[in-house]
Amino acid sequence: MKEDAFIAGLRAIFEADPTLKPAAVSRQAGLDISTVRKLLDGSSRNPTRQTTERVAAALGRSVASIVAGDVAAPAPDKPTAFAESAAPFDFARSIDPSVNAGSVLRALFPALRTPEVYRCMLRLPAFGLERGDLLVMDMSRSPDPGEIALVTIFESDRSVSQIRRFMPPFLPPGDPADPDQTFRADAEGVAVRYPVVGIIRNFSGSPSAS
């Protein structure tokens, strides 16, 4: 049976970097601690899309780069047209299971109604964000002008999630001299999704607002 391309790429990354630990990557991805080990040793052969996205995010890479077999270290933090700057994070699986995740997030951010959590994949100094920050979003409303927001950019058969400031009709940051860096909120293939209402930094299972 042909090996899954994601698993093959993942194994190549671990072979190229002996400092990586399967359990640590699983924990960073908000998954069961044995998830990555099972992918690497072949006991799990068909990872779900959600699993591949979370593992890729924990490694600071895209799913596409892992499937392509790119073992080089992630590029320097520079947001480009198709750099994934945010990825879904399973907050509920990363805290004490006896605690309600929604209640924890609403206690930290009282105005929050319908929470969603993403992990910041790049250092984004324009927004005061560091790689690894947890971005708490409110799915109950659209972003207001001036707010930082999650934006999805579609191209053919792929999409990426980015963090940008909603300044209608524009979505900075972006280099006006570079067409690939200039986005409008009303452009085809661009979907402005949720506002970022809070940040959790240095998350270790005991969240505190930043």
Question: Total structural domains in the chain?
Answer: 2
CATH number for the domain that contains residue 52: 1.10.260.40
Q: Is residue 76 part of a domain?
A: no
Pairs from 159-162 (Cβ < 8 Å, separation ≥ 24): 160/62, 160/82, 160/83, 160/84, 160/85, 161/84, 161/85, 161/86, 161/87, 161/118, 162/79, 162/83, 162/84, 162/85, 162/86
**Domain check: are 43 and 96 in the same one?**
no
pLDDT one-digit tens code per residue, 153-196? 887 677 888 898 888 888 876 544 444 445 778 888 889 999 99
Instruction: Classify 47 as helix, strand or coil.
Output: coil
Tell me the H-state helices in the chain. 5-16, 22-28, 35-41, 49-58, 63-67, 101-108
Secondary structure class of 73 (helix, strand, coil): coil
Q: Is 194 part of any domain?
A: yes
pLDDT at 179: 47
Tokens at residue 178, please? 């570079």
- Considering the domain architecture, whether residues 119 and 186 belong to the same structural domain is answered as yes
Same domain, 184 and 101: yes
- Asked, for residue 205, whether it belongs to a domain, the answer is no
Identify whether 59 is part of a domain: yes
Tokens in use for 202? 């240095």
pLDDT tens column, 114-160: 999 999 988 888 788 888 899 999 999 999 998 999 998 887 677 88
CA distance 158 to 146: 27
Residues 59 and 138 in one domain: no
What integer pLDDT is reported at residue 134 of this predicted model? 94
Type of residue found at 207: P
Residue 137 lies in a domain: yes
Is residue 206 in some structural domain? no
Q: What is the pLDDT of residues 37-90, one digit of tens each?
A: 999 998 988 898 888 888 887 787 878 889 988 887 665 444 444 567 888 998
Predicted TM-score of the model (pTM): 0.62
Q: Which domain holds residue 98?
A: 86-200
Q: For residues 118 and 126, give the distance between their C-alpha atoms in angstroms, rounded to a whole number.
A: 18
Bridge pairing between strands 190-200 and 158-165: unpaired
Residue 21 lies in a domain: yes
Token code pair at residue 172: 């900075």
